[in-house]
Amino acid sequence: MGTFWILVSLIIFVCILLVLVVMVQNPKGGGLSSTFGGGQQQIGGVKSTTDFLDRSTWVLAAIILILILISNVTLMNDSENTESILLDESIPEQTIPEIPEQTIPEIPSDLDQ
């Protein structure tokens, strides 16, 4: 398995993790922290849970960006033949067969009148 496909599988894995982290968050301040007891008076750091989810979202997004850039570089390096076969000069040009001229029959002059 090539380097490119390993990077693609890592990108897919990180994307799934990012989706899970975003789904756990609640834009109105609830989310995972409100599931485990509610208010901000809980011992154990409800605020730290929200901070952790926020940081993990940014870290996963940065990892995806870096993996995509690296996979682009490896994709360019893996493809040895980047030119088209049409541009290759070693293949002789094919000639188009000439079509013989067809003669158009003359219209009899008695039909003109």
CB atoms within 10 A of CB 96: 6
Number of structural domains (the chain) is 1
Place of tokens 């990108």: 11
Q: Express each pLDDT in 49-83 by its tens digit.
A: 778 888 999 999 999 999 999 988 887 776 555 55
3-state secondary structure 7-46: HHHHHHHHHHHHHHHHHHCCCCCCHHHHHCCCCCCCCCCH
Whether 112 maps to a domain, the answer reads no
Whether 2 maps to a domain, the answer reads yes
Whether 14 maps to a domain, the answer reads yes
Whether 35 maps to a domain, the answer reads no
In the DSSP assignment, the letter for residue 91 is S
User: What's the CA gap between 108 and 110, in Å, rounded?
Assistant: 6
Whether 106 maps to a domain, the answer reads no
Q: Express each pLDDT in 27-49 by its tens digit.
A: 665 555 555 555 544 455 556 77
Whether 87 maps to a domain, the answer reads no
The pLDDT of residue 111 is 58
Whether 63 maps to a domain, the answer reads yes
pTM of the model: 0.54
Burial of 33 (0-12, 13-18, 19+ CB in 10 A): buried
Domain holding 13, by residue range, is 1-25+48-79
Whether 20 maps to a domain, the answer reads yes
